[in-house]
Amino acid sequence: MIIKIDFNSDEAIYMQLRNQIIMGIAQEEIKDGESLPSVRQLADELGVNMHTVNKAYALLREDGYLKLDRRKGAVVCISLDSKPKHLEVINCNMRMMVAEAVCKQISAEELHQIISDMFKEFERFGNNGGKQ
């Protein structure tokens, strides 16, 4: 998986990193059980501070995408235990998106089509969140 950081983006670098790893898992570029580069290695490759990578990894662990193994380092481990928490977060994020859609006069049908198309895009990759 190739990670591209936009240093001119308003989005924090650690969030760009976190989001790209999640996309990589969803698109099966990164598989469940696969080790990610060490914090130091990834920071060197991207040209960012180690604390930035560490923060991204901490968020991924907190959100149930990674586990830390003393021998293997950061390992992709999709935890479904936190599904209720994720549904709550997604609900909150979607609420804001729907509010924006309403303000911009985007219909429910148009929004449904966008979401449907996105799900179809990810289904091409097996739709199993990186699980084998």
Closest CA to 19 of 69, 73, 55, 67: 55
Q: Are residues 72 and 90 in the same domain?
A: no
Rounded Cα gap, residues 24 and 83, in angstroms = 19
Residue 21 placed within a domain: yes
Q: Are residues 52 and 32 in the same domain?
A: yes
Residue 129 placed within a domain: no
124 or 15: whose pLDDT is higher?
15
Q: At what angle are helices 83-103 and 108-123 packed, to 10 degrees? A: 140
Residue numbers of the domain that contains 113: 83-123
- The predicted structure's pLDDT at residue 123: 87
Q: Which of 33-47, 84-98, 113-127 has the lowest mean pLDDT?
A: 113-127
Q: Are residues 105 and 65 in the same domain?
A: no
The answer to whether 69 and 77 have CB atoms below 8 angstroms apart is no
Number of domains in the chain: 2
- The predicted structure's pLDDT at residue 85: 84
Percentage of the residues of the chain whose pLDDT score is greater than 70: 95
**pLDDT tens by residue, 79-109:** 887 788 889 989 999 999 999 999 999 999 9
Could you tell me the CA-to-CA distances from 108 to 90, 118, 122 in Å, in that order?
17, 15, 21
- What number is the average pLDDT over the span 126-131? 55
Q: What is the mean pLDDT of the chain?
A: 91
Residue 130 placed within a domain: no
Q: Are residues 71 and 20 in the same domain?
A: yes
Q: Are residues 94 and 69 in the same domain?
A: no
pTM of the model: 0.82
Q: Are residues 22 and 66 in the same domain?
A: yes
128 or 24: whose pLDDT is higher?
24
Q: Which of 31-45, 53-67, 74-88, 116-130 has the lowest mean pLDDT?
A: 116-130
